[in-house]
Amino acid sequence: MLLYTKPSLYAIRALIYIAERKDKGPCLAKDIAEFEEMPRHYLSKILKDLVGAKILESNMGPGGGFALKRPTSKISLLQVVQVFDDIHTDLKACAIGWTRCSDDKPCSLHDRFKPLREEIQEYLRTTTLDQLTKADLSKVKVRE
C-alpha cells in the first residue's frame, strides 16, 4: 500500500472536500479543517501551497475562499503529491538503500522493485481528483 505523508494526505482530503462542493462556490479553510478534523493553521499552509502549485485559486473577502483552478479530471494525484514530497527521487531510490544501485549495477532486489516503482508512478500519474471523489479513502494510512 502506498503511504502518503501527512501534508499530501491532508491536501488530497481537502481537494476532495472542495471538489465535492465546487457547485456551491469557494470553500473556507476553517470549514474544511473542521469537517476533515485537521489543524486549521496547518491546513491553511497546505492550501496556500496548492495555490502556489496552481491547483487551487484563492479569493479574499466576502464570498471568498478556495476553489479548484481546473477540472477534477485534469488534476492528477502525482501533481498533488509532488507539491509536498520529492516523489520522483523517492521512486528512484534503491529498495535496500544503496546509493549506487542502477540498471548497470543493480542490487539484489532491483529487478523486482523497478517494475513496482514504475507501476506506482503510473498510478499517481493517471489517478485524477475526479476518481478520488468517488473513492473511499478512509483506510489510507498516513506516513509521518
Grid cell locating 13: 482530503
Tens-place pLDDT, residues 81-95: 999 988 877 778 888
Tell me which of 4-8, 42-46, 61-65, 119-123 is least confident: 61-65
Cβ–Cβ under 8 Å, residues 14 and 47:
yes
Distance CA 22, CA 77 (A): 18
Q: Is the pLDDT of residue 26 over 50?
A: yes
Q: Is the pLDDT of residue 13 over 90?
A: yes
CA nearest 70: which of 49, 53, 86, 56?
A: 56
Residues 63-68: what's their mean pLDDT?
A: 92
Residues 25-50: what's their mean pLDDT?
A: 96
pTM of the complete model: 0.84
In a domain, 143, yes or no: no
CATH number at residue 108: 1.10.10.10
Direct distance between the N- and C-terminal alpha carbons of the chain, in angstroms, rounded to an integer: 15
Dihedral sign computed on CA atoms, order 120, 124, 126, 130: positive
Look at residue 1 in the predicted model and tell me its pLDDT: 42
Residues 100-115: what's their mean pLDDT?
A: 89
In a domain, 93, yes or no: yes
Tens-place pLDDT, residues 40-65: 999 999 999 999 999 999 998 888 89
Range of the domain at 84: 4-134
Number of domains in the chain: 1
Mean residue pLDDT of the chain comes to 89
